[in-house]
Amino acid sequence: MARTEQVFCYLHSGLREHVNPRKLYWLTALGVEELAAPVLDLAAVRPDRTHGFDVFGTANFFNFVPLAAGIELLTGFGIEGIGRYVDQLVEQILDGLDRERYRLVSSAEARSSLVVFQPFSESSDAVARRLAARDIYVAQRRGRICVSPHLYNSSADIERLLEQL
């Protein structure tokens, strides 16, 4: 059984008719079955309209496998599952943040995946440099530190952040 791969792109329904199809070339017109056939009849190739939107140039097959794996991972967890996991990491930061050393700027009640705090006695630049020296990367905004945990972070990552703070 031949395995086919699917690639997707979302276009607003009103936009599709305004996008000009790209130049026809072998990759826009041939599927897995045609490419695997013992004889290739290029004269019989008739691409459908969707193939015409492919970008002309050499296909980037090296990045397709990791992209597909990433999408599979995210859909496996589901949006709600990812949200619950990130909420747990945010809760861990809020519970462990030393409030004598850092003022919480973001709301503890109206939560998002972003935790913002400001050091009382040192510059945010000094804190960010200290963290970066230990491979912990945060963003700085107007003298504040921004931490945004996500699915690729672990509870151990958050513990390490809190220890360094």
Per-residue pLDDT at 56 exceeds 60? no
Give the per-residue pLDDT at 129: 92
Is 122 inside a domain boundary? Answer: yes
Percentage of residues in the chain having pLDDT higher than 70: 72
**Same-domain check for residues 83 and 49:** no
Q: Dihedral angle at the C-alpha atoms of 36, 40, 43, 46, nearest 10 degrees?
A: 0
**Contact yes or no for 151/85 (Cβ under 8 A):** yes
Domain that holds residue 127: 79-164
Question: What integer best gives the mean pLDDT of the chain?
Answer: 81
**Same-domain check for residues 29 and 99:** no
Residue 1: pLDDT band (50, 70, 90) is very low
Q: How far apart are CA 129 and CA 114, in angstroms?
A: 20
Residue 21: pLDDT band (50, 70, 90) is low
**Same-domain check for residues 90 and 129:** yes
Is 99 inside a domain boundary? Answer: yes
- The pair phi, psi for residue 115, each rounded to 5°, is -115, 125
CATH of the domain at 147: 3.90.1150.10
**Same-domain check for residues 158 and 93:** yes
Looking at per-residue pLDDT, the higher value among 155 and 22 belongs to 155
**Same-domain check for residues 155 and 108:** yes
Looking at per-residue pLDDT, the higher value among 40 and 114 belongs to 114
Give the per-residue pLDDT at 64: 79
**Same-domain check for residues 85 and 130:** yes
Per-residue pLDDT at 51 exceeds 60? no
**Contact yes or no for 56/22 (Cβ under 8 A):** yes
Instruction: Walk across the sheet containing 115-119 and list its strands.
Output: 102-104, 115-119, 144-147, 139-141
Give the per-residue pLDDT at 70: 87
Give the per-residue pLDDT at 18: 75
Number of structural domains in the chain: 2
**Same-domain check for residues 98 and 48:** no
Is 51 inside a domain boundary? Answer: yes
Which whole number is the average pLDDT over 32-47?
68
Longest dimension (CA), the chain: 75
Per-residue pLDDT tens for 112-135?
A: 889 999 999 999 999 999 999 999
Is 87 inside a domain boundary? Answer: yes
**Same-domain check for residues 55 and 83:** no
Which whole number is the average pLDDT over 16-21?
69
